[in-house]
A = this chain, B = another copy of it.
Amino acid sequence: MSYNYKDIKLVLASASPRRRELIQLLGLPFECTVSEADESTCMKVPDEVVKEISRKKALWAYEHRGLGTNEVLIGADTVVAFENNILGKPASENDARTMLRMLQGNVHSVFTGVTLIWRPDNATGPNIISFAQQTDVTFSKVSDNEIEEYLQTLDYRDKAGSYGIQGPFGRHVQQIHGDYNNVVGFPVNAVYEALKKYCCD
C-alpha cells in the first residue's frame, strides 16, 4: 500500500523558518513540529553526520507525536564541511569570524541530510529512509572589513558555517555546484523525487 502524492500531508520536524519556506515548493499541506532530539553523533564523515542527525530528529518527532494516515514525517540537518572540519552553527561572534575567514576565497561543501518516515499500513512498523545531498560553494575573496560589516548584521547566528546564502553574505558567493536549496537547508528536488519514488510507488 502506498500514498498518492497529492494526498500526502507533510510533517516537518524543524523550527527553521528557511526550511518552512522551502517545503512549500513541494505543493503539499504541511505542519511543523518541534524535535528535541539529542544531536550528538560519533560519525566523522559529513554525509553520515547529517543523515544520522536528521534521523534522530525525525524519530524523536515520530515517537512523541505519532504519525497519521497519509502523513510523511521529515527531519533535516545541515552542516558545512571544509578541509576535514565540520562546521555547525557558531557559538559566538568570534567563532563566526574564524569560520568566515577560513571559508572566504575558498570552496567548501554544504551537506543536508534528510530522513523520511511514513507508515502506509497500520499493521506494520514505519518505513524510514535517509539520504544526504552535497553542494559545493565558492566564495570570492572577502576582506576582514567586509567580514566585520557582515558580523554586525547578526545574520550569522543560527546558521551552519556562519552565513546564510540568501542573506547579506550572499553577495560573496561566486558560484555553487549542486542544489541551491540544499545550501539554504532543504534539498527540495531530492525530497520531491524521494516522496514520489519511495512513498508513492
A198 at the interface (CB under 8 A from B): no
Report yes or no: B175 in contact with A179, Cβ–Cβ below 8 A.
yes
* Interface contact B171-A189, CB-CB below 8 Å: yes
Instruction: Say yes or no: is A176 at the interface (Cβ < 8 Å to chain B).
Output: yes
Instruction: Knowing A168-B27, A189-B140, say if A175 contacts B174 (CB, 8 Å).
Output: no
- Please name the residue on chain B nearest to A192 by beta carbon: B171
- Interface size in chain A (residues, C-beta < 8 A): 24
Please indicate which of the listed interface residues A167, A175, A179, A188 has the most CB atoms of chain B within 10 Å of its own CB.
Answer: A175
Q: Which of A1-57 contact B (CB under 8 A)?
A: 25-27
Q: Are A25 and B168 in contact (CB under 8 A)?
A: yes
Contact with B along A159-197 (1 / 0, CB 8 A): 000000101101111111111110000001100110000
Establish whether residues A176 and B176, one from each chain, have CB atoms under 8 Å apart when the complex forms: yes
A180 nearest in chain B by CB position? B180
A140 / chain B contacts, CB cutoff of 8 Å: 189, 193
- Chain B residue with the shortest CB-CB distance to A178: B175
Given A140-B189, A193-B140, residue A173 in contact with residue B179 (CB < 8 A): yes
Contact A175 B177 (CB under 8 A): yes
**Residues in B neighbouring A26, C-beta threshold 8 A:** 171
CA distance A179 to B173 in the complex (A): 7
User: Pick the contact of A189 from B25, B172, B189, B193 — CB < 8 Å?
Assistant: B172
7 closest residue pairs by CB, A with B? A180-B180, A171-B192, A25-B171, A177-B177, A175-B178, A171-B188, A25-B170
